[in-house]
């Protein structure tokens, strides 16, 4: 079958296919059945922005023999302008059943190109496919450090900075993660977004559920993209939320999608314009401007339209611990919400405050204040989902370890929170990126939840590498997630770089057993309150127990659980018995904490972690998918920065 298909395909040499493109395009208009158009390649994505004919030639080469099917659609933003997404589906990786699903097959048949050469070279596998959708940024010259830019050319020639370094489009990579599929581990589509570049792609929601759109944020553009995944591997743009749609907040970080398919988004930075900002409920807070303080919580409809902007700051000064801003605010606040998770059944949403975004890097000047790293977690009443209301502001307590710098104290930089999931549990965890600690509160529904430190990364840093510096401060922990059955807690730790007087700490993925802690109900005994416990673990019997650590070279920052399971009926179903997770090695290049841009899969068995060795890069053959590659379905744009990912299927494939 494959041989036959290839034989017929050979008659469709590339020039012939290109000649047919106008006809294909006409078919789109006339019949409306073709959802994807055989590609004339990357002309709209090549964008650039270059002064060299060399790049043009390169792109011409790319066009030769393209197997890439493109489809572009746009939505109108609040400013009246069009914002688009453009799919670049690699038809050479898709079996006919998937091409049929996309409507390509019939279109090609109508063009006289049907039969076995219906666009694919892959044998029909009869599988329903599961994908990882990865939100990735173009890596370009703006991500280079000064020292990398000192390679002056010896002459003025073509393409001195190179296509790889040009500013290219950010994109969603669609990676096939269907066990047993021929295209396992391959990038079957890249959906570029535009016209905005340099979004600094950041987070999507934590888990995807059937019927949900994807909400994806761009830190630097202050934009939220909303994507329809129902026709995967194709993505559609459903909406875009622009800075002018969230005037009281900026720098969107993370999202939590509720059962009604609407979402909450944390906007970490302050109002777009310094001064007073009026929120949806009519209240007013004074902010110090874009990427400053205070941030906000935004309620978005299923297409990303703003329903409500809710203030994260109270009307009183937050003074339990120091909350600096630059410039200072008349009412000090630590309100820069980053992580967000919710328990709809408990009408409670939790957000953690990380940093005042714009004032962290003061390089080469030392930070004016270590107290820009926030030690706070906020609790919200979401009993009226479209009117989220701040209920309480809680401070993580300082721990027994003395930070080498003030922002290494345990409570500093509360990047992420994760809630427990089972009806009998009401607790939540918080972790601190610079503090290197994990906290727990047993009941998020009480008026003033109390936090206690239950883990210190100093406990596992030494286990991962006995030669490393065990000190937990600055270990750069990030993604933290309870298993959906509440047995385990997963945590990505990027590690601390070595210096002349610090051996640093290794990167790893950590699994903790939290069953005893949760079983302790409203009165957990575990407390890291001695220095010994910071390095050896809590003395109390209900403290989290280390189940496993998986070394993760390259610096994992983010992860996602695979909550989808292929049932005996051939369809996917959601599960709480998670068997694998994905993680990626990228934070934010311009902070100096970058990562090696790899995406990995990990199999899970009773909390034990095993990297999936079959999930290999299609170009290098190495374990994990490398986003530092020369070429993508959308062109030779070079390395990309994968920040976050979600396990998703097409709507028809999940019940």
Partner 1 sequence: MTLGDDTTWRDRILRSRRVGVLVVAVLLAVGGIGYVLYAGSSGSSGAEADRWSRSVAEPAPLQVLGGERRPGFPSVQRIEHDGLVFTVTVAPALPGRNLVRVDALPLEGHEHEAADEELTVEVDGGAAPVEPTKRPGSDGLWAVVDLPSGNPTVLVAHGPEHRIPVMLETGSTGSADALWAGPDGPECLQAATAAVLAGGKAPTSCPASSLRGSDRAGLTSIVTTLASRGVEEIALSADSSPRSAAASRLVRRLAAAEGVRVVPPSARPGRRSALVVVAGWQPAAERLAAVAGLPVEKQALRSDGVWLAPWLLSPGVVDSTTGAVIPLDFDIRDEAAQRYSQTLAKYFPEQAPTGSAYLAWRRAREGANARGESAFYAASRAAYMPAEPGHSSHETTVSWFPGGTVTRISLPTG
Task: Specify the residue, 85 or 99, whose C-beta has the smaller distance to partner 1.
Answer: 85
Nearest approach, Cβ of residue 105 and partner 1 (Å): 24
Contact of 68 with 172, CB cutoff 8 Å = no
Q: How far apart are CA 638 and CA 479, in angstroms?
A: 27
Task: Specify the residue, 27 or 207, whose C-beta has the smaller distance to partner 1.
Answer: 27
Nearest approach, Cβ of residue 524 and partner 1 (Å): 31
Q: Please provide the size of the chain in residues.
A: 655
Contact of 130 with 650, CB cutoff 8 Å = no
Contacts 24+ apart (CB under 8 A), 379-382: 379/348, 379/349, 379/350, 379/444, 379/449, 380/297, 380/310, 380/348, 380/349, 380/350, 380/351, 381/347, 381/348, 382/258, 382/264, 382/342, 382/344, 382/347, 382/348, 382/349
Q: Three-class SS string for 366-405?
A: CCCCHHHECCEEEEEECCCCCCCEEEEEEECCCCCCCCCC
Nearest approach, Cβ of residue 196 and partner 1 (Å): 6
Nearest approach, Cβ of residue 151 and partner 1 (Å): 4
Task: Specify the residue, 4 or 60, whose C-beta has the smaller distance to partner 1.
Answer: 60
Task: Specify the residue, 370 or 549, whose C-beta has the smaller distance to partner 1.
Answer: 370
Half-sphere exposure (CA, 13 Å, Cβ side) for 29?
5
Read off the DSSP letter of residue 442: S
Task: Specify the residue, 63 or 182, whose C-beta has the smaller distance to partner 1.
Answer: 63
Nearest approach, Cβ of residue 426 and partner 1 (Å): 32
Maximum Cα interatomic distance, the chain, rounded to a whole number of Å? 76
Task: Specify the residue, 161 or 531, whose C-beta has the smaller distance to partner 1.
Answer: 161
Structure tokens at 99: 């091409």
Nearest approach, Cβ of residue 121 and partner 1 (Å): 25
Task: Specify the residue, 358 or 385, whose C-beta has the smaller distance to partner 1.
Answer: 358
Q: How far apart are CA 595 and CA 587, in angstroms?
A: 7
Task: Specify the residue, 498 or 652, whose C-beta has the smaller distance to partner 1.
Answer: 498
Q: How far is CA 400 from CA 77, 373, 470, in A?
A: 50, 18, 15
Q: How far apart are CA 462 and CA 69, in angstroms?
A: 49
- The H or E element that residue 9 is part of is helix 2-11
Peptide bond into 327 cis (omega under 30): yes
Nearest approach, Cβ of residue 148 and partner 1 (Å): 8
Nearest approach, Cβ of residue 391 and partner 1 (Å): 27
Nearest approach, Cβ of residue 435 and partner 1 (Å): 12
Task: Specify the residue, 157 or 466, whose C-beta has the smaller distance to partner 1.
Answer: 157
């Amino acid at each position: 079958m494959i041989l036959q298909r290839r034989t017929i395909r050979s008659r469709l040499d590339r020039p012939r296919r290109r000649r047919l493109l106008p006809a294909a395009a006409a078919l789109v208009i006339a019949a409306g059945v073709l959802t994807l158009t055989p590609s004339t390649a990357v002309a709209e994505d090549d964008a650039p922005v270059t002064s060299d004919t060399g790049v043009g030639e390169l792109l011409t080469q790319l066009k030769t023999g393209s197997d890439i099917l493109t489809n572009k659609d746009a939505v109108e933003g609040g400013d009246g302008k069009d914002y688009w997404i453009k799919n670049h589906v690699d038809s050479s990786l898709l079996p006919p059943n998937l091409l049929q699903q996309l409507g390509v097959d019939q279109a090609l048949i109508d063009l006289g190109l049907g039969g076995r050469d219906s666009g694919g070279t892959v044998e029909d596998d009869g599988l329903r496919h599961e994908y990882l959708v990865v939100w990735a940024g173009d890596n370009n010259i703006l991500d280079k450090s000064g020292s990398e830019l000192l390679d002056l050319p010896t002459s003025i020639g073509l393409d001195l900075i190179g296509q790889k370094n040009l500013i290219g489009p950010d994109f969603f990579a669609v990676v096939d993660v269907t066990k047993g599929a021929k295209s396992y581990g391959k990038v079957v589509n890249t959906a570029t977004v535009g016209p905005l570049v340099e979004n600094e792609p950041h987070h999507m929601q934590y888990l995807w559920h059937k019927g949900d759109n994807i909400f994806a944020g761009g830190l630097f553009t202050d934009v939220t993209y909303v994507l329809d995944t129902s026709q995967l591997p194709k993505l559609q743009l459903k909406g875009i939320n622009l800075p002018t749609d969230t005037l009281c907040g900026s720098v969107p970080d993370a999202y939590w999608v509720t059962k009604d398919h609407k979402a909450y988004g944390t906007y970490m930075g302050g109002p777009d314009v310094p001064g007073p900002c009026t929120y949806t409920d009519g209240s007013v807070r004074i902010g110090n401007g874009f990427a400053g303080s205070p941030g906000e919580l935004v309620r978005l409809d299923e297409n990303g339209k703003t329903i409500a902007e809710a203030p994260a700051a109270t009307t009183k000064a937050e003074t339990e611990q120091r909350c600096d801003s630059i410039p200072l605010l008349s009412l000090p606040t630590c309100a820069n919400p980053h992580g967000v998770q919710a328990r709809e059944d408990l009408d409670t949403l939790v957000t953690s405050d990380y940093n005042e975004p714009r004032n962290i890097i003061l390089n080469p000047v030392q930070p004016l204040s270590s107290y820009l790293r926030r030690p706070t977690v906020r609790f919200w009443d979401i009993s009226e989902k479209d009117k989220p209301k701040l209920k309480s502001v809680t401070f993580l307590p300082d721990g027994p370890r003395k930070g080498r710098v003030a922002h290494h104290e345990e409570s500093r930089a509360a990047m992420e929170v994760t809630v427990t999931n089972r009806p009998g549990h009401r607790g939540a965890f918080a972790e601190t990126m610079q503090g290197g600690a994990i906290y727990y509160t047993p009941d998020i529904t009480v008026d003033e939840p109390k936090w206690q430190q239950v883990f210190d990364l100093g406990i596992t840093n030494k286990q991962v590498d006995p030669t490393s510096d065990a000190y937990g401060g600055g270990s750069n922990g990030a993604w933290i997630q309870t298993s959906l059955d509440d047995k385990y807690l997963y945590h990505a730790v990027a590690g601390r770089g070595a210096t002349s007087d610090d051996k640093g700490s290794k990167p790893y993925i950590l699994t903790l057993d939290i069953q005893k802690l949760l079983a302790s109900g409203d009165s957990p005994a575990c407390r890291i309150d001695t220095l010994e416990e910071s390095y050896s673990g809590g003395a109390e019997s209900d403290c989290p127990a280390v189940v496993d650590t998986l070394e993760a070279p390259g610096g994992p920052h983010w992860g996602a659980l695979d909550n989808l399971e292929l049932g005996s009926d051939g369809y996917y179903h959601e599960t709480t018995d998670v068997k694998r997770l994905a993680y990626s090695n990228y934070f934010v290049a311009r902070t100096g904490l970058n990562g090696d841009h790899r995406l990995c899969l990990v199999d899970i068995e009773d909390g034990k972690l095993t990297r999936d060795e079959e999930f290999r890069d299609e170009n290098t053959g190495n374990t994990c998918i490398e986003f530092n590659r020369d070429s993508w379905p959308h062109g030779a744009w070079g390395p990309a920065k994968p920040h976050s990912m979600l396990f998703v299927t097409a709507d028809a494939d999940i019940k």
